[in-house]
Amino acid sequence: MTSPTPSDREKVVSKLPPWLRQELKIRTAQLRVDIQDAVHQGIAQWSALASAPSSVDTSGAESFSTWLPAGQWESFRADARDRGVSLIQGLAQAVSLWLEMNPAPTVQRPSVVRRIVVCNQKGGVGKTAITAGTGEALAEDPDSLHPVRVARQFAVPPAAGSGSSLDLEDLPGLGMRVLLVDFDPQGHLTKQLGQQPLPIGGDSLTCHMAGEAKGPLADLVVPIPDERFGDRLHLLPACTDAFLLDVRLSTVRAREASLERALTPLESDYDVVIIDCPPSLGLSMDAAIYYGRRRENEQPGASGALIVVQAEDSSADAYDLLTSQINDLRDDLSLDIDYLGLVVNLYDGRRGFIATSSLQAWMDIKDPRVVAVVPDLKEQREAVRVKQPLFVYAPKGDQAVAMRALAREIS
């Protein structure tokens, strides 16, 4: 973190080994502390010790500068001399001491598993891309830093390729345990993540929802392997038998609860479950919306519907149909159903008035509010083409940067 330098500080230039500097950068970001304050505290703690702690490997130390309260560096220099250690060694010890005394925070996990239902019966608006991107952002490694679009996230992003820069901040990953559910028989999410759909005739989510399970649902879940996700990002793959889901559900008792019944045994292993809905408004959609309803003891806005739209007129008609289905379900079954927000995807301001006026119309809705405006970005299409998770294909790209902002906006 950086903050304006107070006038009572003086600039000091010394050296730190790169690994220690990196640890300091990550830990201060995790604790949301300024680097200069951490160094200030570390030196104060080091000077207060009865004797110098064990030495630190400072080989390869590189130039490091920071700002300290006036006079602190001078007295540190004197203490180092008295202890017979070099300034570089003393500073490395002070920083190591601060790191020891300020451990990384543990990830705050929700007490009720969060359920995010990514929906819109309009096809091709980006539901699957947003499901995958949000899940990847939520599962990212909390012990390293990743670029996030900050501050201007409500502003309309510059047109792709316009060269304008966004405000970026390096932040620790969110470290959530995430289950992505491919609830669309087309299996796009499964394929995009480089996985295979489940074979027809075997066990599947459809079988579990229809009350015809052939084994534990957990046996069907696959991890999405990558160092940045650890073992936190999992997928329940699609099976083409889901094309018949509505028919198979027609004889099931309390069928709107069928997705919840199927997924409940998995929930204790996850912090967040994200449902990638098909482009339809059938019974399966009712089951997904029911699954996202607010549970007893759950904070408003922790779970609910995340609606992906585009800045064009046909999206508005689709949106009206979707919200009326959600409202009917809410009224018929007396449910609390929250909207997590609207994602305006594939935005291209170069399309002029149609794009800008439609975007304004989405913004004017207010509830649900627009939680992200995502431009039409080539790396998203490329990641799909090469069947790699976006965050593996282009972890520093604009799309990943926007997805991290979205994940934080709805957290």
Which residues make up the interface to Mg ion (CB under 5 A)? Answer: 127-128, 188
Site residues for ligand ATP, 188-217, by CB under 6 A, read 188
252: which DSSP letter? Answer: S
Map the footprint of ligand ATP across residues 154-193, applying CB under 6 A. Answer: 184, 186, 188
Q: How many residues bind ligand ATP (CB under 6 A)?
A: 19
Q: Does 66 bind ligand ATP (CB under 6 A)?
A: no
Question: In the complex, what is the shortest distance from the CB of residue 139 to ligand ATP, in angstroms, rounded to a whole number?
Answer: 18
Give the number of other CB atoms < 10 A from CB of residue 321.
13
Alpha-carbon distance of 230 to 159, in angstroms, equals: 34
Q: Counting contacts by CB under 6 A, is residue 136 touching ligand ATP?
A: no
Residues whose CB falls within 8 Å of the CB of residue 233, separated by 6 or more in sequence, listed in order: 135, 136, 139, 178, 180, 223, 224, 226, 389
User: Cβ neighbours of residue 141 under 8 Å, at least 6 residues apart?
Assistant: 172, 173, 175, 227, 228, 229, 230
Beta strands 304-310 and 62-69: pairing type?
A: unpaired
Binders of ligand ATP among residues 89 to 128 (CB under 6 A) are 123-128
Q: How far is the CB of 152 from ligand ATP (least distance, A)?
A: 17
Of 164, 199, 204, 165, which is closest to residue 182 (Cα–Cα)?
Answer: 204
Q: Which residue of this chain has its Cβ atom nearest to Mg ion in the complex?
A: 128
Q: In a 3-state reduction of DSSP, which class is residue 306? A: strand
Contacting residue, 376, 393, 397, 410, with ligand ATP by CB under 6 A: 376
Which one of ligand ATP, Mg ion, none interacts with residue 129, CB within 5 to 8 A by kind? ligand ATP
Does 346 engage in binding with ligand ATP (CB under 6 A)? yes
Question: Which candidate, 375, 393, 376, 374, places its Cα nearest to that of 384?
Answer: 393
Q: Which is nearer to ligand ATP, 49 or 321 (CB)?
A: 321
Q: Please report how close the Cβ of residue 307 comes to ligand ATP at its closest, in angstroms.
A: 11
User: In a 3-state reduction of DSSP, which class is residue 301?
Assistant: coil
Interacting partner of 185 out of ligand ATP, Mg ion, none (Cβ under 5 to 8 A depending on kind): none
Residue 263 interaction partner, one of ligand ATP, Mg ion, none, beta carbon < 5-8 Å per kind: none
Burial group, residue 228, by CB count within 10 angstroms (0-12, 13-18, 19+): middle
Strands (DSSP E) contained in 210-257 are 222-223, 233-236
Distance of closest approach, residue 133 Cβ to ligand ATP, in angstroms: 8
Check binding of 350 to ligand ATP (CB under 6 A). Answer: no
Regarding 289 and contact with ligand ATP (CB under 6 A), the answer is no
Q: What residues make contact with ligand ATP under the rule CB under 6 A?
A: 123-129, 184, 186, 188, 279, 345-346, 374, 376-377, 380-381, 384
